[in-house]
Homo-oligomer: A and B are copies of this chain.
Amino acid sequence: MTSPLEKVCAEVLKRVNPSESERKKVQALAKKLIEKVEKAAKEKRVEAEVRVEGSVAKNTWLRDCPEIDVFMCVPTTMPREDFGTVCLEIAKEATEGYRQIERFAEHPYLEAIVDKVWVNVVPCYRVKPGEWISATDRTPFHTDYVKPLLDEQKGGEVRLLKRFMKGVGVYGAEIKVGGFSGYLCELLVLNYGSFIKVLKAAADWKEKTVIDYEGHYERKDDAKKLFEEPFVMVDPVDKRRNVAAAVRKERLDEFIVASRAFLKTPDLKFFYPPHIEALEPTELVNRINGRGSAIVFISFKGGPAVPDVLWGQLYKSQRALRKLIQKHDFTVLRDTVWSNEKNLNTFIFEVENRFLPNMKRHLGPPLSKRMSCEKFLRKHVGAESTVSGPRIEGGRWVVDVQRRYTDVVKLLKEKLEDSGAGVGLAEFVSKAVADSLEVMVNDEALKLYSGSPEFSKFLTEYLEGKPSWLT
């Protein structure tokens, strides 16, 4: 008899394990790409070692989404700028005739779609371990480290874990997600032994978990002190690098609770979340108005082309705006940010009330601080901004003063119109809002969601506001 847990995993394995023919097709394509890159490099007189890395090299790719990473490892004598010139030309040459997109992570690389398969052609330096120059220099070492340790069965476990993480929304080390990379998934399976064992361990992860699979550190506490991130996986090929550095606390927590929930009630929905139907605009309006809160939409155009740069700036600006709103006493219930990663971005701040009363309690100094008290009294007694007081409460002076901003929309418009000076926005945001800022509340944003099905879906999920598996 198989348990429900085993049943679900078996079903998922069937879906994620590539078939023999699929493997062959991908392997053949990979081989062909290597040859093409090698040839193009030779033509450009670049002495490159060309290899396949990533999930295809390690046989941990998911059936539906092969992605072939072709690395050209160049000598350290090549100047860094050449990554964006010569190397990019080689990549273009090698994938000529296919759709090509120039990308940029720490350095430029090329994405191409070859025979319906996503391909990345990435330059890196051929270095000795520890002598890293560019961020991708470690990748070949990761491949070489993991490959011999993963057999076919373990590969399946990695696929289960990746699919689970995709399903619960924690997969991907890009800034937008801040989740778990494929390499991290592989190391987790190596460390704990299987998909289920990873989940069982994660269900019990404490405040700051450190995994040091290679035993680089004599004591875990040393590693704990060295890394600041909430979850640490010491890189087997570089003891000073945390493979989980990109994992944000929220994603970590979400993975932990999803693990607990799945182990308790195994279900396919954890791997394949149900499709969410965007609510109709009128229904959205009803739901938003029914909450009694004020959902503020801050919409503006533009943005950097590189997603990691875009999201980094959006998140930074989101934090700055949250601070601004809270500083003016509005209670933020929740906030998020949406972008189509092309030309449209929207911050969402849900506050308890759009309006605050005219008056606010302003706490003054404790009586023990005599000089501060005198200064406080000089400032507030009879001042125009004083509504009531000053009076003494709980050993301090207190005064009721007029609020500077009683409308969160007015606050945002005023602060943002002048490029948001002093607010702490990221550069592109402060430029963009000056040109194309719109601040809307609740049903005022109707045109925003009726104009974009993608945004409607995002908003529908926002209103639900819970993990997709939580039903």
Task: Name A's B-contacting residues (CB within 8 A).
Answer: 203, 206-207, 249-250, 253-254, 256-257, 260, 290-294, 333-334, 352-353, 356-361, 367-368, 370, 373, 377, 381-382, 387-395, 397, 400, 406, 463-467, 470-471
User: Which of the residues B249, B360, B370, B390 comes within 8 Å of A466, measured between beta carbons?
Assistant: B390
In the complex, which residues of chain B have a beta carbon less than 8 angstroms from the beta carbon of A368? 206-207
Beyond A253-B367, A253-B392, A400-B465, 11 additional contacts (C-beta under 8 Å) are A206-B368, A249-B395, A250-B393, A292-B358, A293-B357, A352-B357, A381-B470, A388-B464, A388-B465, A390-B466, A390-B470
Question: Copy number of this protein in the oligomer?
Answer: 2
In the complex, which residues of chain B have a beta carbon less than 8 angstroms from the beta carbon of A292? 357-359, 406
A358 CA / B350 CA spacing, docked (Å): 13
Would A463 and B395 be within 8 Å (CB), given that A382-B471, A470-B381 are in contact? Answer: no
In the complex, which residues of chain B have a beta carbon less than 8 angstroms from the beta carbon of A373? 257, 260
Do residues B400 and A333 form an inter-chain contact, with CB atoms below 8 A? Answer: yes
A117 → B minimal CB distance (Å) = 35
A464 CA / B467 CA spacing, docked (Å): 51
In the complex, which residues of chain B have a beta carbon less than 8 angstroms from the beta carbon of A358? 290-293
Report the nearest B residue to A357, measured CB to CB. B292
Q: Is the interface of A mostly helix, strand, loop or mixed?
A: mixed
A165 → B minimal CB distance (Å) = 15
In the complex, which residues of chain B have a beta carbon less than 8 angstroms from the beta carbon of A260? 370, 373
A465 CA / B361 CA spacing, docked (Å): 12
Report the nearest B residue to A250, measured CB to CB. B392
A338 CA / B293 CA spacing, docked (Å): 35
Closest 7 CB pairs of A and B: A292-B358, A388-B465, A292-B357, A389-B465, A253-B392, A293-B357, A352-B357
User: Which of the residues B291, B357, B471 comes within 8 Å of A353, measured between beta carbons?
Assistant: B357
Q: List 21 A-B contacts (CB under 8 A).
A: A207-B368, A249-B395, A253-B367, A253-B392, A257-B373, A257-B397, A290-B358, A291-B359, A291-B388, A292-B358, A292-B359, A293-B358, A293-B359, A333-B359, A333-B400, A334-B361, A352-B356, A377-B470, A388-B464, A388-B466, A389-B465
A390 CA / B367 CA spacing, docked (Å): 44
A258 → B minimal CB distance (Å) = 10
A160 → B minimal CB distance (Å) = 23
A99 CA / B382 CA spacing, docked (Å): 46
Report the nearest B residue to A361, measured CB to CB. B333
In the complex, which residues of chain B have a beta carbon less than 8 angstroms from the beta carbon of A256? 367
A169 → B minimal CB distance (Å) = 11
A353 CA / B355 CA spacing, docked (Å): 10
Report the nearest B residue to A258, measured CB to CB. B392
A253 CA / B390 CA spacing, docked (Å): 13
User: Which of the residues B254, B391, B394 comes within 8 Å of A467, measured between beta carbons?
Assistant: B391
Do residues A357 and B291 form an inter-chain contact, with CB atoms below 8 A? Answer: yes
A399 CA / B311 CA spacing, docked (Å): 26
Would A257 and B333 be within 8 Å (CB), given that A250-B392, A293-B359 are in contact? Answer: no
In the complex, which residues of chain B have a beta carbon less than 8 angstroms from the beta carbon of A400? 291, 333-334, 465
A471 → B minimal CB distance (Å) = 7
A470 CA / B391 CA spacing, docked (Å): 9
A288 → B minimal CB distance (Å) = 11
A83 → B minimal CB distance (Å) = 39
